[in-house]
């Protein structure tokens, strides 16, 4: 097999140009019209059969290997975020209020580079590779819509791979593991209704603000007292609305937040405890309690077969590699989990910070940017992992 890393390095000017162009023109989920057009154009340019309009702006292309074998899918997400860019980069966003602040511009560039790498080696590919460019990963669960639109059918892949460039780790770091690697995301919405009144006469009111304070404090015991200390659970209150005037006790307080966990049983426990705490404390304080808790995205749980293929690819490409196999890389969530509910899938991470070059901000930060040298690393690893997976 060819040296995909050397070939990806040769393609670096191409990968970087694509990434920077997309970075200048970010588009939100299901609105990635320009992005999707570029993806389709680039894939057709190398002679691939392309299907557009999957979940509005998704694109699928097929690479048929010369040798018989199974079908696998490689997935790349393509959307940007409603963030106002503050990087000051020459290639900064030209769309006010929108930014590629998660690095999905890099994922598109990696995906198009992978298409070129694999297409040039069709004769060595034992099977078929389906490339999926997915819209609306950011909080919109585009994966679910893409699946509903038939992305996993005609032809049906038996396994899938996905990746994320990762600004929690330096360039050169690679992360892959079997089992959980990203958490599930739950969302809760709580309304406390008391009895408003004068701030100077609290005895005539039922104060939902004080009840809210007690609930927020008590909910911290879900992770510290109810969760097995060797497992992880996050309960964060992120929205707190109540009152308008400094001297008026409001009638209602509204709260929203998120629950993260790796194991479904931990998530279910946290949902149950949060409901009990809200109901119990709210009522004890005299309030009416309305609480709604839902799972938004399941945890990303890798299959061991795919993780082993990515590991072999990393060992082949980057001898003496810095491969992190600890798993449970982040409490962040990813809609890649929806594919894993249908077929075995593996999601891996490619380190992309560089302190010397000033790429130090985290994902979704207005100054987020990453070291472009992660592009050839990510593309080579994805292409090689696909071959390893097909061969096994
Ligand atoms: Ni992302």
pLDDT in tens, 7-59: 999 999 999 999 999 999 999 999 999 999 999 999 999 999 999 999 999 99
Give distance in angstroms: CA of 138 to centre of ligand 1. Answer: 7
Give distance in angstroms: CA of 145 to centre of ligand 1. Answer: 17
What is the reported pLDDT for 392?
A: 87
Give distance in angstroms: CA of 103 to centre of ligand 1. Answer: 6
Give distance in angstroms: CA of 283 to centre of ligand 1. Answer: 39
CA distance 243 to 245: 6
Give distance in angstroms: CA of 353 to centre of ligand 1. Answer: 15
Give distance in angstroms: CA of 363 to centre of ligand 1. Answer: 7
Give distance in angstroms: CA of 248 to centre of ligand 1. Answer: 42
Average pLDDT in the chain = 97
CA distance 37 to 225: 51
**300-302/67-77 β-pairing:** unpaired
CA distance 355 to 365: 16
Q: Which of 229, 216, 231 is nearest to 261 (CA)?
A: 231
Per-residue pLDDT of the chain (392 residues; tens, 9 = 90+): 569 999 999 999 999 999 999 999 999 999 999 999 999 999 999 999 999 999 999 999 999 999 999 999 999 999 999 999 999 999 999 999 999 999 999 999 999 999 999 999 999 999 999 999 999 999 999 999 999 999 999 999 999 999 999 999 999 999 999 999 999 999 999 999 999 999 999 999 999 999 999 999 999 999 999 999 999 999 999 999 999 999 999 999 999 999 999 999 999 999 999 999 999 999 999 999 999 999 999 999 999 999 999 999 999 999 887 899 999 999 999 999 999 999 999 999 999 999 999 999 999 999 999 999 999 999 999 999 999 999 98
Give distance in angstroms: CA of 101 to centre of ligand 1. Answer: 8
Give distance in angstroms: CA of 23 to centre of ligand 1. Answer: 14
Q: Say whether 218 sits in a helix, a strand or coil.
A: helix
Which structural domains are found in the chain, ordered by start? 4-181+299-391 (3.40.630.10), 184-297 (3.30.70.360)
Give distance in angstroms: CA of 277 to centre of ligand 1. Answer: 32
Residues 247/199, Cβ–Cβ less than 8 Å: yes
The 10 Å Cβ neighbour count of residue 378 is 31
Q: How far is CA 210 from CA 31, 216, 241, 283, in A?
A: 42, 10, 13, 12
CA distance 45 to 111: 14
Q: Which of 49, 54, 94, 48 is nearest to 78 (CA)?
A: 54
Give distance in angstroms: CA of 372 to centre of ligand 1. Answer: 16
Q: Verify cis geometry, omega within 30 degrees of 0, for the bond prior to 43.
A: no
Q: How far is CA 371 from CA 88, 125, 133, 352, 374, in A?
A: 15, 30, 22, 5, 6
What is the reported pLDDT for 262?
A: 98
Cα R_g (the chain), whole angstroms: 23
Give distance in angstroms: CA of 76 to centre of ligand 1. Answer: 10
CA distance 64 to 71: 9
Question: Which residues is 289 bridged to in the sheet?
Answer: 192
| pTM for the full predicted model | 0.94
Give distance in angstroms: CA of 272 to centre of ligand 1. Answer: 29
Give distance in angstroms: CA of 109 to centre of ligand 1. Answer: 14
What are phi and psi for residue 16, nearest 5 degrees? -65, -40
Give distance in angstroms: CA of 161 to centre of ligand 1. Answer: 15
Q: Which of 122, 47, 48, 36 is nearest to 76 (CA)?
A: 36
Give distance in angstroms: CA of 303 to centre of ligand 1. Answer: 21
CA distance 182 to 176: 11
Q: Which of 164, 185, 189, 179 is nearest to 298 (CA)?
A: 185
Give distance in angstroms: CA of 85 to centre of ligand 1. Answer: 16
* 109: Cβ contacts below 8 Å, ≥ 6 apart: 15, 16, 18, 19, 22, 375, 379
Give distance in angstroms: CA of 222 to centre of ligand 1. Answer: 27
Indicate the angle between helix axes 264-284 and 208-219, nearest 10 degrees. Answer: 150
What is the reported pLDDT for 321?
A: 78
Give distance in angstroms: CA of 323 to centre of ligand 1. Answer: 21
């Amino acid at each position: 097999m060819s040296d995909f890393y050397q070939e990806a390095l040769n393609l670096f000017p191409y990968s970087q140009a694509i990434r920077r162009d997309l970075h200048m023109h970010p588009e939100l989920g299901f609105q990635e019209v320009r992005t999707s057009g570029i993806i389709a154009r680039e894939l057709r340019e190398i002679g691939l059969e392309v299907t557009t309009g999957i979940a509005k702006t998704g694109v699928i292309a097929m690479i048929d290997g010369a040798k018989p074998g199974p079908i696998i899918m490689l997935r790349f997400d393509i959307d940007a975020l409603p963030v106002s860019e503050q990087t000051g980069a020459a290639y900064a966003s030209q769309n006010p209020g929108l930014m590629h602040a998660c690095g999905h511009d890099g994922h598109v560039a990696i995906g198009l580079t992978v298409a070129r790498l694999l297409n040039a080696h069709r004769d060595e590919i034992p099977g078929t590779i389906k490339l999926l460019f997915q819209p609306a990963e950011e909080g919109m669960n585009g994966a679910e819509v893409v699946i509903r639109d038939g992305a996993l059918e005609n032809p049906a892949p038996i396994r899938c791979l996905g990746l994320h460039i990762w600004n929690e780790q330096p360039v050169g770091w690679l992360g892959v593991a079997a089992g959980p690697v990203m958490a599930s995301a739950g969302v809760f919405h709580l309304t406390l209704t008391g009895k408003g009144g004068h701030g100077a006469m609290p005895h005539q009111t039922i104060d939902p603000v004080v009840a809210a304070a007690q609930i927020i404090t008590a909910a911290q015991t879900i992770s510290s007292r109810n969760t097995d200390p060797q497992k992880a659970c996050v309960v964060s209150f992120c929205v707190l609305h109540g009152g308008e005037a400094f001297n008026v006790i409001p009638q209602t307080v509204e709260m929203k937040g998120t629950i993260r966990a790796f194991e479904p049983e931990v998530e279910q426990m946290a949902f149950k405890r949060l409901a009990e705490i809200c109901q119990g404390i709210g009522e004890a304080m005299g309030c009416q309690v309305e609480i709604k808790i839902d799972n938004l995205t399941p945890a990303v749980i890798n299959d061991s077969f795919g993780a082993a293929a990515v590991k072999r690819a990393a060992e082949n490409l980057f001898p003496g590699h810095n491969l992190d196999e600890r798993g449970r890389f982040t409490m962040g969530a990813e809609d890649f989990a929806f594919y894993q509910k249908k077929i075995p899938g593996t999601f891996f991470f490619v380190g992309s910070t560089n302190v010397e070059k000033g790429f130090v901000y985290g994902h979704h930060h207005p100054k987020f940017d990453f070291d472009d040298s992660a592009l050839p690393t990510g593309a080579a690893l994805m292409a090689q992992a696909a071959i390893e997976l097909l061969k096994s």
